Structure 1
Amino acid sequence: MPVAGSAGTTGLGVEMTRVGNRWRVTRPWPPQLRPFLHSYAGYWEAAASPYRVRLVPTGRAVVVINLGEPFAQVRRLADANPNNSQVTGSLVVGLEDGPRVCDHPGGQEAIRLELTPLGAFRLFAVPMSELTNRAVELGDVLGPQAGLLVEHLAATSDWGARFDLLDFALSARLARGPEPAPEVRHAWRLLSRSGGAIPVGRIAAELGWSQGYLIRRFTEQIGLTPKTSARVLRFHRAVRLLTREGANPTDVTAACGFYDQAHLNREFRALAGTTPGRMAAARVAEGALPQ
């Protein structure tokens, strides 16, 4: 049953679920958006409190539309200088090959989207390589109309009406976005369905492309090279398996194609800055590891 809260009312089909100190707001996605999205949800805090999360690579692009307090800091974990980050309102994060730390002062109200890489390519209409390992303002990618959309969303208290506005804007932009190359689409499908296990040379041979040409076209439209994408997808699959009840690290190591436990540990340190055990215990949700 829909639940009304201090962030506004809910419309038809909208559901709210409490997750810790936050409410997660969802509604079934319209059919025209389903091929391009992994998740689409609103969030608001029951009681404002500062928090920090670590975002780990997922093989997805992220859009955060902030309707309340913005993030105080969004930075790559490898960047030791916090002054290199800036207060960020609504933002776009491209595909990444390392962890990112986000600090929020509390009072968050936002809508968060996780897009497939090719969905992001169509929506953003820029080479995805320009967004790799970067967090940028939403307006820098989608133009001044993005600011107007955020204003309208923030001024609308009903979550159903908010989703209606965003569904319309997303559908219109995706409809006129660039079409990914069929070969890149097929290459991503092969990689994602295999969990990063298929060799890049085999993909190139199946497409009839040289490996160099595959790397150039793939990186332009996905954001990471095929080899790095395979590494991230394999890591992401390992995270999913490790967070299941009763997961055995030895079994996960074999299932995901790591050479041994030491290889698994090295990849988790490189891509997430933590260990498999700590990540499993933290129960990562949507690529976010509480700090």
Structure 2
Amino acid sequence: MFIRYCPGPPLDAAIDCIWLTRRTVHAPACEHMLPSGQAQLVMTLHDLPIQWAEPGNNVAWSSWTRGVIHGPQSRYYMAGPKPPGIVVGASFRPGMGAAILGASLHELRDRHVSIEDLWGYRGLDLHQRLASIRDPHDICRALEAELIARIHRPLLIHPAVAYALRPNGTSPSPRRVDEIQQHSGYSARHFIELFQAAVGLTPKHYYRIRRFSGALLRLAAGDARLADIALAAGYSDQAHFSREFRDLGGVTPARYRPSAPGSEHHHVVDPARGAASPGKKLSRR
């Protein structure tokens, strides 16, 4: 089961969507969790550990239980096999996470912070309340109510950052940071600091990730050649596209395997290619 729930005002200004998935069996595959430029709140409505690891040759697996905040990621991270049960989460719009999380997204960059460490007893209480609800739609509505209650008003974003986050019209190319900075009226250093504090990434890296995400959508659809996808996404050529894909996603475009329709930011790792799997010894973070 998968539910995607789009909240109404005022939460829709800060939350892209609330989602819920229910697995009835163990999912043994590891995944690359590909960057989207957004922070994520994820809560498991069971007490089994979820395993994750930073990319690298010497993979060190860690685990979290009940709930975690995945800050904006500069590149992929590894996720271990998934136990059965219900998982609910929320995807924050770029630049809006701090208004609810109560923490700077710059401080959360590339981090995975437990709900207990971030929200204390209120985080554990939220987990218990959600776990006691049986209807999946009621779980989503209860999470929505909690997030609305946590909004730090006014729910605003700095005008220079809001302008920088606007879509670039119909152009697939990433926006030019120098042009946006000049339009803002701030110095380059000040503009980058404002953007990084709100979004958690530098403008240049954020635009790289958004271009990458656009390519993922086209690649997951599987209806075009790699060279055409590269051109449509705004890359200079297929070689440029492949280098960026490998750097941000840890895999080549030809080896990319989305876990399910609508899950283009989840790449399923092929165990036959020697991917590292979680060991028995785990550290807690």
Tell whether the structures are fold-level matches, with TM greater than 0.5: yes
**The one of 74, 80, 96 aligned to 2:52:** 74
Spell out, residue by residue over 1:35-94, the C-alpha distance to the aligned partner (whole angstroms, 9 max, x if none).
2223311111122343422100111111111102444411222372415x2334310011
Superposed, 1:169-184 pairs within 5 Å as 169-176=146-153, 179-184=156-161
One-letter code aligned to 2:220: T
In the other structure, the counterpart of 2:141 is 164
Secondary structure of the corresponding residue to residue 230 of structure 1: helix
Q: Percent identity?
A: 25
1:62 and 2:40 aligned? yes
**The one of 74, 78, 90 aligned to 1:97:** 74
**Structure 2: gaps (5+ residues):** 270-285
**The one of 197, 204, 208 aligned to 1:220:** 197
CA RMSD of aligned residues (A): 2.3
Spell out, residue by residue over 1:169-207, the C-alpha distance to the aligned partner (whole angstroms, 9 max, x if none).
111112537633121122122569865611100000111
**Structure 1: gaps (5+ residues):** 1-22
Secondary structure of the corresponding residue to residue 82 of structure 1: coil
Higher helix share: 1
Spell out, residue by residue over 1:74-133, the C-alpha distance to the aligned partner (whole angstroms, 9 max, x if none).
1222372415x2334310011112111111351231102211122212111221111111
One-letter code aligned to 2:181: A
Normalised TM-score (structure 1): 0.83
**The one of 106, 110, 114 aligned to 1:129:** 106
Normalised TM-score (structure 2): 0.85
One-letter code aligned to 1:61: A
In the other structure, the counterpart of 1:289 is 267
Q: Relative to structure 1, is the Cα distance of residues 240 and 183 closer, same or farther in structure 2, using a 3 angstrom cutoff?
A: same
Q: Relative to structure 1, is the Cα distance of residues 37 and 265 closer, same or farther in structure 2, using a 3 angstrom cutoff?
A: same
Q: Relative to structure 1, is the Cα distance of residues 146 and 195 closer, same or farther in structure 2, using a 3 angstrom cutoff?
A: farther
Q: For residues 36 and 49 of structure 1, what CA distance do their matches in structure 2 show? A: 31
1:269 and 2:285 aligned? no
Spell out, residue by residue over 1:135-189, the C-alpha distance to the aligned partner (whole angstroms, 9 max, x if none).
1101222332111011011011122332232111111112537633121122122
Q: For residues 136 and 226 of structure 1, what CA distance do their matches in structure 2 show? A: 23
Structure with greater contact order relative to length (CA < 8 Å, sep ≥ 6): 2
Aligned residues: 268
**The one of 108, 113, 127 aligned to 2:90:** 113
